[in-house]
Amino acid sequence: MKAKKTHYTSYLILAIFGLYMLFPFVSTFFYATSTKWSNTMLPNDFTFKWFIQLIEDPNFAAAVIRSFALTFTSLAVVLVVMVPTVFLVYTSFPKVDQFMKGLVLMPYAIPGVILATGLLRMYSGTVIPMYLVLVGALFIGSLPFMYQGIRNSLESIQTKKLIEAAEILGATRLTSFIRIILPNIRLGLLITTLLIFSGFFGEFVLTNLLIGGRYETIRIYMLRRMNENGHLASSIMVAYFLLLIGISLVITYLTSPDRRGPKKSKRHQILGNRISIAESVSILKIGVKKEKRQRI
Amino acid sequence: MNFIAIDHVSLSYGDSKVLKDISLTIEKGELITLLGPSGCGKSTLLRVLAGLETFQEGEIYLDGEEISERAPRDRNVGMVFQSYALFPNMTVFENIAFGLSVKKLSKSVIKEKVNAVLQLVNLEDKADYYPEQLSGGQQQRVSLARSLVIEPKVLLLDEPLSALDAKIRKQLQMDIRALQKKLGITMIFVTHDQEEAMILSDRIFVMSEGEIVQQASPSELYAKPKSKFVATFIGNYNILSADELKQLDSAFSPKRINNKYAIRSETIRLEPIPGEEAIRFHGKLEHTITLGSTIRCYYNTGSVQLTVDLLNRDLEKRELDQDAELYIHRDHIVAIEG
């Protein structure tokens, strides 16, 4: 029997990478669960009092709710506008697609502070609420991820071929989009959405400059409390990480391929009532026969 | 009236002419093949018929109606793609039922029709599987079933077997031909494989550079290619100029100066051919390749090198560097366009 080769180097690299990724989180967790940690290797004590204090603070809950509200509003706008748009551009306007691929990178060229300043000059004092301006700015900021993410998903499922097959079978473009394309890009869409969710949820520069203290989101709340107490700020950070990890796990579970096997249901079972080949042919020729009758 | 008529259809992408004034007719219940090398326009012509490509000139008629301007969904054609194009989020049953469900047929009718077609393609036990759980051959059969169940007037098959291995391909060739005969459906099959075209077709349309260069039954096409392109594409022909042929046959007199002459490799024999129309000449065996049931021999006659296919027997007749007497009947020398 062939001995299984052990890849020690691979494990070592993986372990170093794991430590590198986990170290900040574990350190933050220790800091969030201690009252003093300054000149020792490990904290002097262990406590959940910062977490309890956090949960008991009504401003924290309000900040979380505001962050969720802002994130979901922005995400809803992004998804509703971008998914059909990218689909249409990808399937029907290949030249626009080439242009869009360059255009969506533009947000990278404008630093957040300059963008916020420009938006303030443009919209402050107008009838347009700054909340909507913020949603619009977040929308623009998400374009690089959203456009490329949706586009890659469309490309990976051979969208054009699927649409052609569906149209030849009698479906409209809308039916094909809803019944075939959307379910098949679900995974890619969820991953992109998660990426943007994290970005929106943790967004600070634009929110702080455009709305600031009038609409205290979790990151603005964090900044305020960090100035008061570092341990408390760490506990917010840990809670924030755990929330994102929780969302990632849910999405990973929902999109796991193991959840899709052959259906166990008997709804299409036909072995019990087999039909002959001749019957199959006659059933398929129903249309042909009708047509002949009409001609007669 | 012809069941399908393509009338002077031309299509260009910018300056590049992909289809050049194509005209052809197909009768109901026929299986015809569009055969040609990559880039000759055969798949584009099929897509034009399906309504997936817009063409600039010409008209297309299906069952007496002009369909040139109709959307793909209004043409009542079925199409099988090389890449299967099955819907990954749907089971085999749902894939096949899709075309019927968008027509808003009742659930019981859909179930009856899908079950019938599943039986027809021998996939009854795979109804609840997803496409990714099936082999390539099974996926293509689902694709075939999905196209058949909507009872199209014509079924278009765009190199449906190219991605499959040889054994499954041969089996599916037989299955497709049997189904076509059983259902009496009109089929247009696109392939670059001349053997596949021969096996399947009632008629073959050979295409080159956006044009149909010859159309004929498989046997006629094989025996009487019109051009050097068809001769080299469809079979293993020896192409000779008039001068080269005169070296083999002193009595030969060319009919036209531009003509070339094609001789099928299996018509050259080592045994004498009776009658006055037989030509005899000498050649030295330079090289052989075993193809299985046949041996391909390369003879040098001094003026020309000839490929000769012999049955894989009579070992003593195939010794290298030996001079041999070769025979051809004049009827097997086909004049072709240069």
CB-CB neighbors (< 8 A) of B148 in chain A:
284
Query: How many other C-beta atoms are found inside a 10 Å radius of the C-beta of residue B266?
Result: 16
Last residue of a domain, one of B214, B230, B246: B230
pLDDT value for B338? 67
pLDDT value for B234? 87
pLDDT value for A201? 85
ipTM of the complex: 0.85
pLDDT at position B292 over 80: yes
Contact assignment for B87 to A180 by CB distance below 8 Å: yes
Least confident window among A223-227, A273-277, B7-11, B108-112? A273-277
Which of B50, B71, B83 comes nearest A158 by C-beta?
Answer: B83
pLDDT value for B324? 87
Element (H, E) at B208: strand B203-208
- DSSP 3-state helix, strand, coil percentages of chain A (rounded to 5)? 75, 0, 25
Total domains present in chain B: 2
Averaged pLDDT for residues A6-20: 91
CB-CB neighbors (< 8 A) of A165 in chain B:
79, 81, 85-87, 146
CA distance A122 to A128: 10
Model confidence pLDDT, tens digit, residues A232-291: 888 888 988 888 788 778 767 766 665 554 454 444 444 334 444 445 445 455 444 443
Q: Are B157 and B287 in a shared domain?
A: no
Q: Are B259 and B123 in a shared domain?
A: no
Q: How far is A80 from chain B (nearest CA, A)?
A: 22
Q: How far is CA B191 from CA A48, B48, B162, in A?
A: 71, 16, 8
Give the distance from CA B57 to its chain's centroid: 26
Q: Are B68 and B156 in a shared domain?
A: yes
Residue ranges per domain, chain A? 27-33+44-257
Closest CA relative to residue B61, chosen from B187, B153, B189, B158: B153
CATH number at residue B167: 3.40.50.300
User: Among 1.10.3720.10, 3.30.70.1450, 1.20.120.450, 3.30.70.890, what is the CATH number of A27-33+44-257?
Assistant: 1.10.3720.10
Contact residues of A toward B, CB < 8 A:
157-158, 161-162, 164-172, 175, 179-180, 183-184, 260-265, 268-271, 274-275, 277, 279-281, 283-288
pLDDT value for A253? 76
CATH number at residue B324: 2.40.50.140
Which of B102, B149, B183 comes nearest A171 by C-beta?
Answer: B102
Written as one string, the DSSP assignment of A184-231 is HSHHHHHHHHHHHHHHHHT--HHHHHHTGGGG--HHHHHHHHHHH-HH
CA distance B19 to B40: 8
Model confidence pLDDT, tens digit, residues A198-215: 888 888 888 888 887 788
Q: Where in the sequence is the domain holding B319, given as residue range(s)?
A: 238-336
Contact assignment for A284 to B117 by CB distance below 8 Å: yes
pTM for this structure? 0.79
Q: Are B288 and B198 in a shared domain?
A: no
Model confidence pLDDT, tens digit, residues A53-96: 888 999 888 988 998 899 999 999 999 999 999 999 999 998 99
CA distance B140 to B84: 6
Contact assignment for B73 to A170 by CB distance below 8 Å: yes
Q: Are B138 and B201 in a shared domain?
A: yes
pLDDT value for A268? 43
**Greatest mean pLDDT among A116-130, B93-107, B323-337:** B93-107
Do residues A246 and A252 make contact, with C-beta atoms less than 8 angstroms apart? no
Model confidence pLDDT, tens digit, residues A102-134: 888 888 888 878 888 899 999 988 889 888 999
